[in-house]
Amino acid sequence: MKKYFAEGLGTFLLSFVVIASLHGTFPVSTPLLAGLTLGLMVYVIGSISGAHINPAVTVGIWSIGKIKTPEAIKYIFAQFIGAGVALYLGRYLGWETTLSVANTARVIFAEFIGTAFFTLGIAAVVLGKVPTDVHGVVIGGSLLLGLSLAALGSNAVLNPAVALGIGSFSWSYVVAPIIGSVAGMNVFRWLVHE
């Protein structure tokens, strides 16, 4: 049960930080805050749940055989609950986000390519190609890179649960990250397969 709580908590914190960043004025960009938050969560809850905190990441990890189907479903459920709590808390605090949500080829490509680059770093960690001490740095840095690329054509979310939490939820922000994650994970697995 602790791992599902950890996934919900991690997704809540990531979503809440992004909501706060979009609402307020911070000395650093939203992608940098998201990367720092995810990196921190890898160190805080990584040993409990693996710190997926993203349904697209969970599906990608499932696609390379590193999580079983029933477990993946429970993770995704917990992640959406965490993001939903962040959404309602943000609204309670009056932190409405005003993002435009489009389902265009540009958005789909941006979310796909950003997630593919992001999950290359995750796959390197999951498949044991990165020293343990720098897991959070690699994953947080990979998110920052993926978000920076995606921002050229979308709201740069790369996470269906966070998309719900920040009010950028549409099929483009669900399907494209999932496909990008499966692609990124499997390309890396293919590259390192001996």
Cβ neighbours, 10 Å, residue 191: 12
Average pLDDT estimate for 136-161: 95
pTM: 0.93
CATH topology of domain 2-192: Glycerol uptake facilitator protein (1.20.1080)
SS3 52: coil
pLDDT at 194 over 60: no
Q: What is the pLDDT of residue 8?
A: 96
Average pLDDT estimate for 5-17: 96
Residue 91 has which token pair? 């609204």
Where are the domains positioned within the chain?
2-192
Cβ neighbours, 10 Å, residue 181: 29
Average pLDDT estimate for 88-94: 91
Residue indicated by tokens 């990531």: 14
